[in-house]
Structure 1
C-alpha cells in the first residue's frame, strides 16, 4: 500500500509501510548503510507527518515481513491481545503519542495496555517522539520481575555486575566480583561473558559464582552468558544455572544466524524452570539485543534497524524474562555513528520495551572507534535514570578488558543512585545494610576468594 505526503508543494511518495517507517526514523548510520534512510530532513519530516495520520490498526493487517515466511511475525500476530488493544483501536499513530503523554494515562493503564501493543506500533510512535517524550512515557511504565530479589520497582535502580576476564581467570573474575559487591553492584545479576563457550569452563564459572552467593548469603542471581545450547547441556548435568541467557533478534533469519529459534528458546525456558532455583519468583530468562544486528547478519528484510529492534521485544515478551538488555552502542559506528545517535537509540529501545511490558535495562556503551565519549555516556546514563531503566551495567573502571568496549562503572551507578535518590533492589539493599550494621563491610570478609 503506497503512502504520500506533501510538504512545501512537493509530494513525497512512500511505496509501502516498511519504507514509510524507515524514512520516518531519526537519522542513523545503519539505515544509511542499508539504503533505507530518508535522503533529507524534509523527506524525514514528510514521512513522520504521513505516519502520524496512519491508524494503529493498519499494523494488524499490513505485516512488514510476510506471516508465512517469518515465525516472529507469526508470534506477533498470534499473541496479539484484542481486548487490551480496545482502548486505542480507533487512534492514529499521532493520537497514540498524545494518549501516551496524557496525564490521564497512568502506570496501571499502560500495564493493562501492553499486551495489545505490537512492536511495530511502539516503533512507529517512537519515531514521532522527542527525547523528553520518550523519557516521560518510559518513566510511567513499571515492570517488576522476581527471581531471588525484586527488580524494577519505582525508586529503584539495579545493576549487572560484569566481571569479565580475557582468559576466564577465576581469580581475576573473583577480584572484580568483590570490587563490585563492595560498591553495592550486582543486584540485577552477576553476569560473566565467557571468553570461551566450553562447557567445562562455563560450569566452573557457574560453580564459583554460586559458591560466592551461598557463602555470603547474597540475594541475587548469577549467569554465564553462554549460548543457550551450552546452558541446556549444563542444566541436564544439574549445574547451578540461575538465569538462561541468549542474544535474540527480531526476524527468524536473524535468530537462525544466532543458532536459535522459538522452539529452542521454549525448551530452554522450560528447562530453567525445572531447576526451581528462584526463591521469590520464576522470571529466569536473560535476553540481550541491539540495533544493527539484523543488518549485520543481512537478515533485516529491508526494515529500518529501530523497527527490527522493536520486533525483538515480541520474542522476549513470550518468555517472561527477568532481564532484557539493549547493548546500545556495542556493534559500532557503522550502525550508530556518534553519541547523538547512541543516546537516541538507547531511549527508543527502553521506551519500546517498557511499553510492551518488558523489564528493560541498558548497557550504556560505545566502541573506541565511534564518535562518542564518556560525556555522551554520562548524558545517556542520567536520562536512563530519569526514564526508569530497570538496570544498567557495572564494569570495573567502565572498561571491559575482555569485550574491548566502554561501558558504565560501579561508580556510575553510585552517582545515579545518589543524584536521583534511587536505591538497589530491596532485598539486596537489606543485605548491604546488614553488612554495614554488623561491621562486616570489609575487604577481609572476602579473604580466601582470591587464593590469599
Structure 2
C-alpha cells in the first residue's frame, strides 16, 4: 500500500490510512480541533492524490477502527454485498469516482451495495461539490411507513413543531401552521423539552390526534431518548416511528446511552407494538462532529465517522435519516462554506449506502453563516434529490435555539424546482384546497383552516 507522493517538488509521507483519510478531507474546524487536519492546501492535495490511487481492497484490509474493537465496524462489514464487492475490489478510489459519475442509476445503486462506509467516505473526499450533487441525484431511495418517501419529483418535509415548554396547544398550533403550508408529509416530529415517559406519551397522543382528526397521510415521531420512547410505547403511546441519534463508533454511541443490543430491542418493539402500516419504522439523526465532542473519535476524521453512522443505520432499514448539519456549531463546521460542503457530503454518503436521506439545513447563531447560506444549501440539496428537509416556524426553532428552514422556504423550493410533496399527502392537501396542481393556493399559510 503506497502512502507517499511527490507533489510540486515536495515529498509527502502518510503513516497510515487514518492519517491519510484525515488529511485528504476538505477543511473542517473539527478536524483542526482534533489536530488531525492537513497543515495546508498542499498537504491536503497530496493526501487526495495518494488516496485516489488506493484500491477499495486496501481500504477494507486496513480498517481505521478494527472490528474486534468496535461493534459499528462489525455491523458495517456485515452489511457489504460480497458478490458486488468482489467485482469492484480492485478499483482505485479514483476509478470509483469515475464510475459513480459516468454510470447510470441502476449501476450506481448496485455499486453502493458493495461499498463499506470507509470506501464511501474515501471517494467523497476526492469529489467536488458538483460531483456530490450529480452522484447523489442518481440514487433514488424509497422508504415506506404509513406513506412512501423518496420518489423522483418529490421533496418531503418534516414539520418540527417544537415548543419551549412542550405546551400541547402551542405544539398543535405549530402543526396546523405546517399543514397549512403543505408541510409534514415526511413526519410530524417533535423534539421534547421534558424527557419523561408521561410527557412523551402526551406528545405521541397529541400528534396522533391531529393526524386522525384531519386524516393526514403522514407519520408521527417524538425525538426523546430511545429508552423513554420504549417505555412510552409499552404504556400504549401511538408511535409510528422510533427515533435515536447515532454516532459512528461504539464509544460514541455509548455516550448517547445506546448500543447495538438496545437498538435491536427497540427495533423489535416498534415492529410489534408500533402503529405504522409499513415496514420502515426508524428515524435516525446524525451530524459531523458528535464523536469528537464525546472524545470517542479514535483519531478518525469527522467525515469518515459520519459515513460510519450510515453504515450502522442501514442495518435497521429506516424510514428517515437526516444529518443535522450545522447544529453542533463552529467548533466542528466553522462557517457557511464548511456547512454547505458537509451537507452535500452527508447526503451523498447516506444515499450511496442506500439510505433515505434528509438534511436539517441549519446553523447556530455563533457560526459564520446566515439565512442566505441556508437558502443556497437547500437549493443544492433539492437539486441533488434530497428525500426531505426540515421546517420550523419562521426558520427559528424557539426550543432548540438554532436557525433552520421555514415552512414557506420548503414550499418555495418545491415551486422553484417543480417538485411536489409526497403522493398521498399531496392528494390530501389538494382536497383541502391548500394545493392546486401541486402549488399553494390563497388558503395556504392560514392555520385557522384547522381550528
For the 8 Å contact 1:2–1:13, the answer to whether it is kept is: no
> 2:5: which partner in 1?
5
> 1:364: which partner in 2?
361
Q: TM-score, normalization: structure 1?
A: 0.96
> 2:350: which partner in 1?
353
> 2:97: which partner in 1?
97
Q: Give secondary structure in 1 for the equivalent of 2:405.
A: coil
Q: Give secondary structure in 2 for the equivalent of 1:345.
A: helix
The farther-off stretch of 314-323 and 78-87 is: 78-87
For the 8 Å contact 1:325–1:363, the answer to whether it is kept is: yes
> 1:180: which partner in 2?
178
> 2:194: which partner in 1?
196
The verdict on how the C-alpha distance between 1:217 and 1:233 changes in structure 2, with shifts beyond 3 A counting, is same
> 1:323: which partner in 2?
320
Residues 27-426 of structure 1: matches in 2 within 5 Å? 27-102=27-102, 105-275=103-273, 277-279=275-277, 281-426=278-423
Q: Give secondary structure in 1 for the equivalent of 2:376.
A: helix
RMSD: 1.5
Deviation of 1:237 (Å): 1.5
1:356-399 per-residue CA deviation (whole Å, 9 max, x = no partner) reads 00000000000000000011101100000100100001100000
Cα distance between partner residues in 2 of 1:444 and 1:412: 20
For the 8 Å contact 1:119–1:313, the answer to whether it is kept is: yes
Deviation of 1:170 (Å): 0.8
For the 8 Å contact 2:182–2:434, the answer to whether it is kept is: no
Deviation of 1:58 (Å): 1.3
Q: TM-score, normalization: structure 2?
A: 0.96
Deviation of 1:2 (Å): 6.7
> 2:450: which partner in 1?
446
Deviation of 1:209 (Å): 0.8
The verdict on how the C-alpha distance between 1:437 and 1:351 changes in structure 2, with shifts beyond 3 A counting, is closer
For the 8 Å contact 1:54–1:93, the answer to whether it is kept is: yes
For the 8 Å contact 2:241–2:274, the answer to whether it is kept is: no
1:130-169 per-residue CA deviation (whole Å, 9 max, x = no partner) reads 1110000011100000111110001000000001011101
Cα distance between partner residues in 2 of 1:134 and 1:41: 20
Q: Give secondary structure in 1 for the equivalent of 2:213.
A: helix
Where structure 1 has 5 or more consecutive residues not aligned to the other structure, the ranges are 448-452
Where structure 2 has 5 or more consecutive residues not aligned to the other structure, the ranges are 436-440
Q: How many residues align?
A: 444
Cα distance between partner residues in 1 of 2:184 and 2:274: 21
